[in-house]
Amino acid sequence: MAAFRRWRADRPFLGGLLLTLGGAEILLTQKASLKVVMHIGMQGLAGYLLPVLMVICGLLILFNPAQRLFYSILGVLFSLGSWITSNLGGFLIGLLLGVVGSCLAFGWLPDQEPRRPRRWFRRDRGPVKSAQPMESAGRP
């Protein structure tokens, strides 16, 4: 488990995973029955080609993080192209997963230290001091 955590910390894991899941979801909506299919697209070929390329870009982001900028730009273009070719981008779910995953991969920085969890409790600052009455503040 520790080896997986180290591997995951060295790459934009969530971005690649979301892009891969977005492409897989669009591919699954292509297999839906004809009553559910809203738009088949350009001869059907691009409807299958773009989600496959999204899955490939997501996997390349996971396994080759040095080229994440190029793959994430391609991933966003393929995701937006699926709006036209693949049932409105897999009924918007696959399109949104692909765009968000590509943006996360694009914004990932390899040099940052891992975040430490923040503590959300208040420290005890001692007793609350009461306010002075108006007469003692120098007013008549």
Average of per-residue pLDDT across 127-137: 58
**Alpha carbon distance, N-terminus to C-terminus of the chain:** 72
Question: What amino acid is encoded at 62 in this protein?
Answer: L
Is the whole-model pTM more than 0.85?
no
**Mean pLDDT value of segment 6-27:** 93
Task: Quote the pLDDT of residue 138.
Answer: 55
The whole-number average pLDDT for the span 94-110 is 94
* C-alpha of 114 from chain center: 18
Which pLDDT value is given to residue 38?
A: 55
Burial of residue 56 (CB within 10 Å: 0-12, 13-18, 19+) is middle
Average pLDDT across the chain, whole number: 82
Q: How many CA atoms lie within 13 Å of 95's alpha carbon, on the beta-carbon side?
A: 14
Q: Which amino acid is at 28?
A: L
User: pLDDT (tens digit, 9 = 90+) per residue, 27-81?
Assistant: 888 776 556 555 555 557 778 889 999 999 999 999 999 999 999 999 999 999 9
What span, in angstroms and rounded, lies between the C-alpha atoms of 55 and 19? 7
Cα-based distances in Å from 111 to 22, 100, 114:
27, 21, 9
